């Protein structure tokens, strides 16, 4: 089982720059030991169970809750049985079809 | 505290029409007693705590898990402290500014 | 052809309440003549062509661009050939399966 | 002006594996010359204008349209005035605050 969760979460009451808050969430994820990849638009975590993925969402919220009166989050799940290590495998699958990726 | 969660969740291994699966999730939400609104693009639930909102996501997943080998979900949260009953209040706020909504 | 587009778009540099800005977008959509439904988490428009849907996104952006230095938007498309009037039909399909919806 | 668009787009009438279709979109993006980054959950493009970003969405749709009777897409924009090259700069900003990223 591979659960991929891509998400961003940020306060909307703290002005234009929110990287201080986003960094706190990334730090929590990094220290949690879960497999993850940071992107320019969010964070992708891969877990084996739905409970682990939901725990990451909950902890991210708790990081912001004390300081922020309004929080927005956009998320997507891609859940697939019988697969693992898709943080790497999905990009490799595309690469094998078109020859290279990104620049 | 008002937690608004808008989400859709559906199998991608069951062909073009997935309303049978989506209906099972709506039925579970309806029976759960949470405040919700069904839209043409998903379901919006309002809860007082993050735990309740995450429980809805988990139960939705469990509804599909047994039958589906690949599941996709798109979600967004709008969380605001010191507010309640925003399933109705947010639309009323826009209505008060522009005079009417929808058609 | 039925193109359903659900989206929200708002500034993140204007503090906690953004209903003044959101209302300007809804007013533009209402005056555009496109079929739409306002929800507590965004707006759903239905068009017959991709060009019309993208035009709504562009005009929404133009409504905010002059006043806002940072803008966030979350969107999803559900595009289906051989269907029409899905703003109403999708909810009716679920209702026919579970007996009622929303509360 | 920096327009970051993160999106995924795929058919839902083609069964569990859709990498053949996704690869066609990535190939189009790669050949378009736009700055982009492929992730395990989608593609992030950076453009200077909204028109360029919407053109990528339209072309992605056209890649799938001929073969697919139902198409789903999830997208998010982060638009910021007075900034450039954020495909790299946003991650660097987090790295400078927490010391490292990803694993």
Q: How confident is the model at residue A23 (pLDDT cuts 50, 70, 90)?
A: very high
CA D19/CA B58 separation, integer angstroms: 27
- Six-digit token string for A57: 């969402």
Banded model confidence at residue C72, pLDDT cuts 50, 70, 90: very high
Helical residues (DSSP H) of chain D, grouped into ranges: 19-32, 50-65, 86-98
Q: Does position C102 have pLDDT exceeding 90, yes or no?
A: no
Q: Does B78 contact A69 at a Cβ distance shorter than 8 Å? A: no
Contact C94 B23 (CB under 8 A): yes
Q: What are the chain B neighbours of C72 within 8 Å (beta carbons)?
A: none
pLDDT computed for residue C99 by the predictor: 83
pTM of the model as a whole? 0.96
Domain architecture of chain B: domains with CATH: 2-98 (3.30.70.930)
B39-52 pLDDT per residue, tens: 999 999 999 999 99
Q: What is the pLDDT of residues C4-58, one digit of tens each?
A: 999 999 999 999 999 999 999 999 999 999 999 999 999 999 999 999 999 999 9
Does the distance separating the beta carbons of D76 and A22 come in below 8 Å?
no
Among B residues 72-91, those touching chain C with beta carbons less than 8 Å apart: 74, 76, 78, 80, 86-88, 90-91
C-alpha span between D21 and D30 (Å, rounded): 15
Residue C83, exposed/middle/buried by CB under 10 A (0-12, 13-18, 19+)?
middle
A36: pLDDT strictly greater than 80: yes
Relative orientation angle of helices D19-32 and A86-98, to the nearest 10 degrees: 70
Q: Chain B: nearest CA to C50, how far in angstroms?
A: 17
Question: Chain C within 8 Å of B19 (Cβ-Cβ)?
Answer: yes
C-beta atoms of C19 and B87 within 8 A: no
DSSP letter string, chain B = -EEEEEEEEEESSS-S--HHHHHHHHHHHHHHT-EEEEETTEEEEEESSHHHHHHHHHHHHHHHHTT-SEEEEEEEEEEETT---HHHHHHHHHHHHHS----
For residue C101, what pLDDT is reported? 59
pLDDT mean across residues, chain A: 94
Given an 8 Å threshold on Cβ–Cβ distance, is B54 in contact with A58?
Answer: yes
Beta carbons within 10 angstroms of residue C36's beta carbon: 21
| Residue A82, CA distances (Å) to A1, C71, D14, D18, D84 in order | 5, 39, 19, 16, 41
Q: What is the mean pLDDT of chain B?
A: 94
Q: Are the Cβ atoms of B72 and A81 closer than 8 angstroms?
A: no
Which pLDDT score, from 0 to 100, does residue B101 have?
58
Does C6 lie at the interface with D, CB-CB under 8 angstroms?
no
Question: Is the per-residue pLDDT at A103 higher than 50?
Answer: no
Task: Kindly give the interhelix angle for C19-32 and B86-98, rounded to the nearest 10 degrees.
Answer: 70
- Convert the pLDDT of each residue in B5-20 to its tens digit: 999 999 999 999 999 9
Give the pLDDT score at B103: 47
- Report, as an integer, the average pLDDT of C70-99: 94
Question: Angle CA(B71)–CA(B77)–CA(B82) in degrees, nearest 5?
Answer: 155
How far is Cα C73 from Cα C61, in angstroms, rounded to an integer? 9
Sort out which chain B residues have CB atoms less than 8 A from C97's CB and list them. Answer: 19-20, 23
Residue C103's pLDDT is what? 47
A chain contacts of residue B70, beta-carbon cutoff 8 Å: 78-81
Q: Over the stretch D70-91, which tens digit does the pLDDT of each residue have?
A: 999 999 999 999 999 999 999 9
At C81, phi and psi to the nearest 5? -80, 150
The pLDDT tens digits for D2-18 are: 999 999 999 999 999 99
For residue range D26-72, list pLDDT tens digits in order: 999 999 999 999 999 999 999 999 999 999 999 999 999 999 999 99
């Amino acid at each position: 089982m591979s659960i991929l969760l891509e998400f961003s979460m940020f306060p909307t009451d703290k002005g234009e720059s929110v990287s201080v808050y986003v960094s706190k969430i990334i730090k929590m994820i990094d220290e949690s030991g879960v497999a993850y990849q940071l992107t320019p638009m969010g964070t992708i975590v891969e877990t084996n169970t739905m409970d682990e993925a939901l725990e990451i969402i909950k902890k991210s919220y708790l990081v912001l809750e004390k300081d922020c009166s309004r929080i927005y989050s956009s998320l997507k799940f891609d859940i697939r049985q019988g697969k693992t290590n898709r943080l790497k495998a999905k990009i490799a699958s595309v690469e094998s079809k078109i020859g290279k990726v990104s620049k």
